[in-house]
Structure formats: structure tokens, C-alpha cells
Amino acid sequence: MLNLAIACILAAILGFAAHRASICTVRAVAEYTHSGTGYMFGSIVKSALWVFAITIPVFLLAPQTATALSGWQLTFTAMFGGLLFGIGAGINGACAYATMARMVDGEGGMLLTVTGFIVGVLLFVALIGNGVLTRPVPASSPIPALLHLAPYAATLLVALALFELFRLWRSREPETTLRTAVLSPAYRLSTAALLMGLSGGIILLLFGSAGYTTTFQQTIEAHAGVRPMPALGRWLVLFSVLLGMLVSTLQRGSFRPDFRPRLSWLRNIFGGILMGLGCALLPGGNDALILYGIPGLSPHALPAYAALLFGIFVALIAMRAIFRMEMRVACRNDMYIADASSDAAKVTK
């Protein structure tokens, strides 16, 4: 129970930080294609590195903890799932994290994305039942076999994490206190990456892989009667991430309920269907890959995430070419620059 309580607190911190910095893989790709910069993607890479900075020293000191890690085989199905998830996220205009963040901000379209996600998972269940698809195959993590490299990796990563913490504190505004930094309406991308990575790493050690999209996917499958319900603890961790995001939006006053029907909701539904199907094929969304799959050295994680990025790129390029819709994202000085009227990236026709 103590481990679960700590994991829930850290999950809330993770959700709060992700919301304050507007972390999103779709925005990362849009930033690169529109502005030619990589601040957002750099923060995503840092998040995974800081998970390593927490887990590898523990694996070094207690090697038996590494044996509990598992992942998924690299298959065509996993790659295709990453591609589908990426295309769906690009069409939706938000990845797993951004969908949750914008949903708690009051965007009705993101609720339709969740509805589409449910349909996508049920489509996966139907395809499995008809023998069209096979389920992802579990695989062991290679980390136990690589522990002889742990002293060097741990030394480097811990040193980098401490340097990053020192750099972020020293580069703050002179009048900034710890309280004002925590309650700042917008976080630097590097600050959010550090909080998300350290929190995700401790959650991985205490609770195991707790991918939030995977938890939701498995719950849908359980209601369809094809697998057991995930443990209650996994739902509590997912709820804690959403709670952290909700606290963030309420504290800074960015909650703006908007449920007016609009044509763009069709994109949310269709994008959500592809995200749900892709998540089931992988399994997991970008959240599971970044914070758990890649740091756990799951064989499928890096190639599937590359396919996911390519899927987002294809979707953004196609929407610009066919519908003359462009997602314009800019980051400056390690900060995401949002439109004043919305936390979503600006989309123009």
C-alpha cells in the first residue's frame, strides 16, 4: 500500500508537470516541421534519460529488481501499431498526454477522442476474435544481461541529472522562489522532463510498467470479456495522472468548458479510433513507450516509437496538403509558446 501511495503521488506530479509544459509528441513533430526547432522533442528524450538515471543505479545496487522487467517482441504488428497510433494522434492533433491534458481543460473534442479510442480497442478485439490479428508477444528485457555496463551508465546519467537540476535552478529568474516556481503557469520543457522522468522512474521501480493508455486499453478488453480486469492499483495511478492535470488547470485558471459541436470533432473520433487500435497492437501509446518501454529496453520500443513519429509526420503533411490545415507550433527558450486563447497548438486553414 505504501508503494502504491507513493506511485500515485508521483503520478500526480507527472500529470501536473506534463500539463504545465504542454508536453506532446504531436507538438514535437509539428514544431520541427513548422519552426525547424526541436525543443519539445528534446524534452521527450530527456524524460526517458531521467528514467534511466533513476532505475540503473537501483539495478546496479539490487540486480534482482531488473529481472522483473519485461517488454514486447519487435514484430511487424508492433511497428504497424506504432504507425497507426502516430497517424491517429496526428489527425487528432494530440498524443496520449495532450489528449488527457486538453480533456481536463474542458475540450469536448478530446472526450470524443476517448470514445474513438474505445471503438479502436473493440475493433482490435473483433479482429483478434476473427483470427485476422494475433496478440503482441511478451519478451524479456535485456537489462539483466547488460548490468556489467551499469556502473558507467549510472555514473554518467546521475551526473547529467544533477547537472540539469543545478542548471535549471541557477537559470531561473532571480526573484523566483521554490513556491513560485512550482505554481508557475507554464513550466520550461526541461523542468517538466526532469519531473516526469524522475517520477516515471520511481513508479517503474515501485509499481512496474504502468502505461496509462495500456491500462485503459486492458480495461476496455476486460469489459468485452476477453481478458481479466487490470489491477486496481493501475487504475489509481492513471487516475492520479489525470488528477494532477486537473489540479494544474484549476490552479492556474485555464479550465474552459467547450462542448459546442463542430466539424473538427470528426477528426477527433477518427483519430481516436486509430490510436485505440494502434495502442492495442503495440501495445501501449507514446506514454508507455517513453517512460516504460524505452527505459526498460523493450525490444519493440525504439522502432515502434520511430514508426509512431513517422505516422504523426505523415498525418500532419497529409492534412496540410489535402485540407490546407497546418499545425503551427513554436518553442522559444525552452518554453512552448501557445495561442493566448487556448492551450492547444494553433491550427489554421
100-159, pLDDT tens digit by residue? 999 999 999 999 999 999 999 999 999 999 989 888 989 988 999 999 999 999 999 999
Residue 286: name the closest of 84, 66, 142 by CA.
84
Domain count, the chain: 1
Q: How far apart are CA 69 and CA 91, in angstroms?
A: 33
Domain, as residue range, for 197: 2-344
* DSSP single-letter state for residue 348: E
DSSP 39-102: HHHHHHHHHHHHHHHHHHHHHHH-GGGGGG-EEE---HHHHHHHHHHHHHHHHHT--HHHHHHH
pTM above 0.95, yes or no: no
Residue ranges in the chain whose pLDDT is less than 50: 339-349
Note whether residue 83 is domain-resident. Answer: yes
| Helix or strand (DSSP H, E) at 139 | strand 138-140
Determine phi and psi for 328, rounding to 5 degrees: -105, 115
Note whether residue 164 is domain-resident. Answer: yes
Note whether residue 236 is domain-resident. Answer: yes
Note whether residue 349 is domain-resident. Answer: no
Q: How far apart are CA 76 and CA 35, in angstroms?
A: 32
Tens of pLDDT, residues 17-29: 999 999 999 999 9
